[in-house]
Amino acid sequence: MRRRLINSTLAVVLVVIAVFGISLVIVETRTIESSAQESVQSEAVRLVSIVDSRLLGGERVASGVLREQITPNRYAKIEIPGRAAIEVGEHPAGEVITATQKGERGETITVVESRTTVSQEIGRTLMVILGVALLAVVAAVFLAVRQANRLATPLTDLAETAERLGSGDPRPRHRRYGVAELDRVADVLDASAERIARMLTAERRLAADASHQLRTPLTALSMRLEEITLTDDPETVKEEATIALTQVERLTDVVQRLLTNSRDPQSGSAVTFDLDEVVKQQIEEWRPASRSEGRAIVRSGKQGLRAVGTPGAVSQVLATLIENSLMHGDGTVALRTRVTGNQAVVEVSDEGRGVPADLGSRVFERTVSGRNSTGLGLAVARDLAEADGGRLELLQGYPPVFALFLSRDADQARESREP
């Protein structure tokens, strides 16, 4: 492309130079010839005037007097009736320019000049025109190369950007080139890069969240199945199977919730539900795990609370808090329900060492963990809570107290979800 731009620019410039250059040469040649002819004619008129004045005054017309009046390198012949012709200068050889003028006394003046002088003047003019043309060609080459680089380099750069996008590198380059059309293409590529980056981030986040969040219900389901394999009591098997089915339903809800949040984090399907039922369910699910650790899960606080949210998401948040207490904490895991203003609060605490002071303000950030874990659990739990119009906070670092705040009013929950 660069070569085509240069060649096309040079072709246009050469055509323009040829058209205007030839026209200028013709005009200048005619102008120089006309000027030379006028000069010779003017000299003939001047000599006639001199000769007439001398004849009128009775003075002698001699070649010596006329030689001083004629331009050097020119030849003049004065023919006076009844007298011998007077010649001044040498008659030039070759082509000449001739002017003849008659006087009032019948005399005839002929002035002759060689065309060599005219040819030299035309040659000098042609050299000047040729020099200007060469200068124009050099300038055209410079401008053509510059313009070609200005257009070809951005196109090459845009091609590299598109290739980077195709190879999986979605970082926008934010380069602009001062050409409206090219800048528009760059805007589109940068916007596409940002969309691809968001899509890749969402996919990676979904994969990380799914692997982490599915682990909790799968662990609880595994414990229930182990309980079934260790008992021969049909009633116990039925009870554990019922709980296992409930956990399967919750597992399905977790998967659906993760997929929904990956598309639109604010698309929570919040309803008014029985908070006591969700808390009781989580205590029942995690009691086998706590017993295997030699620990206990207890509940206290206000009963009969109803809150606005997605039961599956709230269950997942509480499961994450309980699992963290069992994994990283110590002693009894306590769930306490209370009311503050128009919000229902579920606090989860234990008797462990708590959250280090340097992590207190960053504990909900992804990849932040004080116990060599993934650091995703609390971050995902916070996202689930906020999707339902609630919030998850660390109220106390030692002993650790996490609190889930849920609205008790559907309108207020809806407003809190809106951006």
Task: List pLDDT tens digits, range 175-206.
Answer: 787 778 878 888 888 888 888 777 776 666 66
Helix (H, G, I), strand (E, B) or coil at 308: strand
Give the whole-angstrom CA distance, residue 111 versus residue 193: 85
d(CA 110, CA 84): 15
Distance (Å, whole) CA 42 – CA 22: 30
Whole-number pLDDT of residue 263: 53
Is CATH 3.30.565.10 the right assignment for the domain spanning 215-417? yes
Locate 357 and state its tokens: 């002071």
CB distance 86 to 25 below 8 Å: no
Q: Which amino acid is at 119?
A: S
Q: State in words which class domain 2-138 has.
A: alpha beta
Q: What is the C-alpha to C-alpha distance for residues 163 and 85, in angstroms, rounded to an integer?
A: 94
The whole-number pLDDT of residue 210 equals 63
Q: Are strands 108-114 and 96-102 parallel, antiparallel or unpaired?
A: antiparallel
- Residue appearing with tokens 């682990």: 215
Contact partners, residue 244, CB within 8 Å, separation at least 6: 221, 224, 225, 228
Q: Is the Cβ–Cβ distance between 406 and 310 less than 8 Å?
A: no
DSSP 8-state code for residue 252:
H
Q: What is the pLDDT of residue 349?
A: 94
Show the low-confidence residues of the chain (pLDDT under 50).
Answer: 267, 419
* 114-128 per-position pLDDT tens digit: 888 888 888 898 899
pLDDT given for residue 299 in this prediction: 93
C-alpha gyration radius of the chain = 52
DSSP 8-state code for residue 312: H
CA proximity to 161, closest of 191, 198, 200, 201: 191
Q: Is the dihedral of CA 209, 214, 217, 220 positive or negative?
A: negative
Instruction: Let me know: does 321 contact 381? Beta carbons within 8 Å.
Output: yes
d(CA 113, CA 91): 8
Paired with 79 in beta bridges are 108
Tokens representing 239 are 């009870």
Q: What is the pLDDT of residue 208?
A: 62
**Which CA distances in Å does 104 have to 52, 59, 82?**
7, 16, 15
CA of residue 118 relative to chain centroid, distance: 63
